Amino acid sequence: MVLAVAVLVFGGGGGTAAALKIRSDNAEQAERERTAATAARLAREEQQREEAREKQAEEARQNEAEAQQALDEIELEGREDLERSLRKAITKDARASVRDGLLDGPILRTSCDPVGGGRDDLTSRTGKYDCLAITETDADGTSRGYSFHATINYEEYSYTWGLGRD
């Protein structure tokens, strides 16, 4: 009987120890799984934040490009206005010279062609133009008149011109 009690005590103790060991191992395994799941969740969240930052950066680049394009279009319109104003000013000046007897008329209109810089080159601060105060237009579309040279300063929104080629 003593032997049976000893076997039960030692056997029960061994079973308890085994049960405690299994419980400890299971708890450690569960903790490792929770840690791995947390790490995976944090990595996914960081990836999502990175993707959101990249998307915001791309949207900002697109918005900046669209804004620059709008500014470029406004700049081009301003340059076209300057060219139109230059042509009108040369026409007016040439007509005044006709009235003063310095040139023969009539002055029909003025055409200008860029020879340096020009309105489409947004990097240039000035543009040089050869202009023609037209006195005659032939049937084939060619024109004759008085040559003028001109410079437009796009930054100052101003222009100058003179009779003859530069």
Q: What is the rounded distance in angstroms from the CA atom of residue 128 to the CA atom of residue 115?
A: 6
**Would you say residue 9 has pLDDT above 80?**
no
Distance, CA of 139 to chain centre: 46
62: phi then psi, degrees, rounded to nearest 5: -65, -45
- The 10s digit of each residue's pLDDT in 117-155 is 777 888 888 999 999 999 999 999 899 999 999 999 998
C-alpha span between 164 and 5 (Å, rounded): 129
The answer to whether the CB of 82 falls within 8 A of the CB of 154 is yes
Structural domain range at position 28: 2-163
pLDDT in tens, 74-96: 999 999 999 999 999 999 999 99
For the chain, what is the domain count?
1
* Burial category of 163 from C-beta neighbours within 10 Å (exposed 0-12, middle 13-18, buried 19 and up): middle
